[in-house]
Structures are given as C-alpha cells and as structure tokens.
C-alpha cells in the first residue's frame, strides 16, 4: 500500500535529486521507484506530477536525531484528501494516510518547507545562464542528510568517481552498520555510527575492502571525533555559523575545503556553502569567471573567490543553486536529456529497457 502526500514535481524531482551525488544510498529499484535508507528504515519512493508516494520497511531502530522543525508546515489529512479528490479519488482509507512522523521525516529530509520554485525564480532573475540551464532541470533541491553519513561518504569522494563512491559507502554500511531488514532478498543496513569506525583495526579492514588511502582518513576522523568530541558533536554544528563550522570540519583528517563545504551544505544547514570541485571549477571558468582560464591550479585563494562570486550572484542559498548547475553538467544527466529529446522527436520504442537489478551499479555496460 502506497501512502502519499502533496508535493508538485517542480518542488522536488526524485530522479535527479536522489542520483546527483549528494547521497550515495539511493537506487532505482524499478523505473521511477527509488529505494534507500533514511532514519533507520528502508523507504521506497515514487511520484507523479503532484504527489510523493512512499512505503516503509522495517521498524525504526533508533530515535530520529533531533530536528529543527521551526517553520516547517504540517500537511493535514484534509488537504491530502482534497488533493486526491482532484484526481478523481474521493477519499482514501485510514491505513494509507501517512503518519505525521513519516511525513515529517520526509519533509525534513527534502526540506520541503523551502520553496524551490521561488528560489529558481530568484536565481533566474539575477543570472541568465542559470535561467537557461534550469529550464531543463527543475525540482533539484538539497537534501538535509545525516551529518555522519554525509561526512564519511564525502571523505570517500576525494579523487574518485560516483560509481566507486557508491560502492564504498555500501560496503561501509554492510560491514559496520546495523542491519535493518531484507527487501527482495537484499539486506539493508543503516549507515554506521562513529564509534565502530574508530576501532584500531578499521584502517586495515577498509584497505582490504578497496578503500585505498581513504581507509586511513575514515579511521583517523572517527578516532578524532571520539577523542575530542562525542557522537552528537556533528549535529551540534548545525547551530554554528558557516565559517566556524567549516574551520572545525577542516581539522579532520581527509577533510579539505571542498569536503567541508559539502558537509556544511548537505547536512549542516549552511545553504550558502559552495563546494568547488573540478566540475564547478570548469563551470565557473567557462560561464562566470573567464580569468580562471589562466589559473594553473585551484588555490585556496581562488577557491574562496569562486564561492564569494556565486554567493554574490545567487544569495543566501547559493549552495542550492550551485547543485542545479552541477547536476546539469553531469554526464549521465546530459545524456538523459538528449535521449529524452530524441524520444520526443523521432523514435518510438527505442527507449532503453532497464532490466538490470537495482543491486547492480547504474553505470552503462554497453551491451553493444
């Protein structure tokens, strides 16, 4: 039984938001259906033009972390039913109405109290390039992730590509995370807490699992947190200003300016943080700051200038805007866009059939 609540696609597009490299934990189980772990449970998500549908598997195995819910609106059952009746469904059984807690978990994770449409309008007004690009990429929003998962996932991301990062994150969960439940023969695990990652033998184990030099970063960072702080320290950074938060994070082994900005933006409520990676560097040089073309490398100074430029252009939610352009620049989405156009224009029945299990990587093995 699917449960649902109202949410227009322009406010949230699952396919891009869940697969653009913010989180590495979501898989497309069936076309349009995304499965992943959130708040200690397995969630299956899908959507149509004006609603999000979901199912959950497994009981909550831990209390949700404290949420800052200030200003987050409640979705009442009354207007849920109203929305459904608009679609020709008079009412829905009590069982299928999602609970307030479930809805709140999703609204918090997707930050649905922030109006993305308004933000897109504002960014488009001040930036023609954004306006052009964003027309084909609506509904891309920042997730509000768990900071522990976010931090350790992005320590894995250095000098690495998304498919391998996903694989490493998965191994981290399977090896050190609590098991939640089996779904269709596949075992889902929570992301591990900091403590098990701080054991002395973890570096060696992770090397054996193919983490390379990042094995040490993960183990060292976990040890550092357990020694100088505690499990909840990362969450407490949500109420600290951006710059101070970034400085704190950069004390961790394997966390430089870019990873620190990712964590600030994606789990610590710093919407102004702009992570500058090779893609953003290219985008900035090509479309915004031509002088960057002469630079030999991305120095600390230039890194700061790029972030400042985008904050000046896009404002307080610059990090959110950056992720729209970043996603539009990802190869996989460029290809999807062009194949969509192709499908619209000329070919019928040429759409690629996804027969792969959702367990296999989403990379394209050309079947020639």
363 binds DNA (CB under 7 A): yes
293 binds DNA (CB under 7 A): no
- The CB-of-157 to DNA minimum distance in angstroms stands at 4
- The CB-of-229 to DNA minimum distance in angstroms stands at 17
Q: Binding DNA by CB under 7 A: which of 18, 20, 80, 112?
A: 20
Binding mask 300-329 for DNA (x = CB under 7 A): xx--------------------xx--x---
Interface residues for DNA in 180-209 (CB under 7 A)? 207
- Side-chain half-sphere exposure of 31, counting CA atoms within 13 A: 5
* Residue numbers annotated as active site: 258
- The CB-of-330 to DNA minimum distance in angstroms stands at 8
The answer to whether the beta carbons of residues 3 and 53 sit under 8 Å apart is: yes
> What CA–CA distance (Å, rounded) separates 279 from 301?
18
255 binds DNA (CB under 7 A): yes
> What CA–CA distance (Å, rounded) separates 257 from 249?
9
280 binds DNA (CB under 7 A): yes
Closer residue to DNA, CB minimum distance, 183 or 285: 285
- The CB-of-361 to DNA minimum distance in angstroms stands at 6
Closer residue to DNA, CB minimum distance, 180 or 306: 306
The answer to whether the beta carbons of residues 300 and 322 sit under 8 Å apart is: no
254 binds DNA (CB under 7 A): yes
163 binds DNA (CB under 7 A): yes
Closer residue to DNA, CB minimum distance, 77 or 207: 207
> What CA–CA distance (Å, rounded) separates 126 from 259?
28
Closer residue to DNA, CB minimum distance, 120 or 326: 326
Closer residue to DNA, CB minimum distance, 66 or 210: 210
279 binds DNA (CB under 7 A): yes
Q: Which region among 55-63, 83-91, 127-135, 291-299 touches DNA (by CB under 7 A)?
A: 291-299
Long-range contacts of 359-362 (CB under 8 A, 24+ apart): 359/27, 359/186, 361/163, 361/166, 361/167, 362/19, 362/27, 362/28, 362/163
User: Which residue has tokens 């509904």?
Assistant: 139
Q: Which region among 51-59, 184-192, 226-234, 247-255 touches DNA (by CB under 7 A)?
A: 247-255
Which residues of this chain interact with DNA, rule CB under 7 A? 20-22, 157-165, 167, 207, 210-214, 216-217, 250, 252-260, 275, 277-280, 295-297, 299-301, 322-323, 326, 361, 363-365
């Amino acid at each position: 039984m699917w449960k649902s609540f109202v949410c227009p696609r322009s406010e949230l597009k699952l396919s891009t938001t869940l697969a653009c490299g913010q989180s590495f934990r979501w898989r497309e189980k069936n076309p349009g259906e995304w499965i992943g772990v959130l708040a200690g449970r397995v969630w299956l998500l899908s959507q149509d033009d004006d609603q999000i549908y979901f199912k959950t598997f497994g009981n909550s195995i831990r209390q949700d972390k404290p949420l800052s819910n200030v200003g987050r609106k409640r979705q009442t059952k009354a207007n849920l039913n109203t929305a459904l009746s608009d679609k020709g469904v008079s009412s829905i059984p009590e069982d299928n109405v999602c609970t307030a807690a479930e809805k709140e978990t999703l609204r918090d994770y997707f930050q649905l109290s922030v109006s993305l449409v308004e933000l897109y309008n504002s960014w488009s007004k001040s930036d023609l390039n954004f306006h052009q690009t964003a027309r084909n990429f609506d509904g891309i929003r920042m997730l509000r992730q768990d900071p522990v998962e976010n931090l350790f996932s992005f320590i894995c991301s250095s000098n690495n590509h998304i498919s391998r990062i996903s694989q490493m994150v998965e191994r981290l969960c399977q090896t050190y995370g609590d098991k939640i439940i089996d779904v269709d023969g596949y075992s889902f695990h929570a992301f591990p807490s900091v403590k098990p990652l701080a054991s002395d033998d973890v570096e060696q184990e992770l090397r054996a699992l193919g983490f390379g030099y990042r094995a040490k970063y993960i183990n060292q960072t976990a040890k550092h947190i357990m020694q100088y702080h505690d499990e909840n320290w990362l969450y407490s950074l949500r109420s600290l200003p951006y710059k101070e938060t970034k400085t704190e994070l950069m004390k961790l082994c394997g966390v430089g300016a870019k990873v620190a900005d990712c964590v600030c933006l994606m789990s610590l409520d710093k919407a102004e943080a702009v992570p500058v990676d090779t893609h953003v560097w290219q985008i900035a040089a090509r479309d915004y700051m031509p002088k960057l073309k002469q630079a030999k490398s991305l120095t600390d100074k230039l890194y700061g200038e790029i972030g400042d430029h985008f904050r000046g252009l896009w404002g307080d939610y610059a990090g959110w805007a950056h992720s729209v352009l970043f996603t539009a620049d990802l190869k996989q989405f460029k290809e999807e866009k062009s194949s969509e156009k192709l499908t619209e224009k000329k070919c019928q029945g040429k759409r690629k059939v996804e027969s792969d299990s959702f367990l296999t990587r989403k990379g394209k093995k050309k079947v020639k």
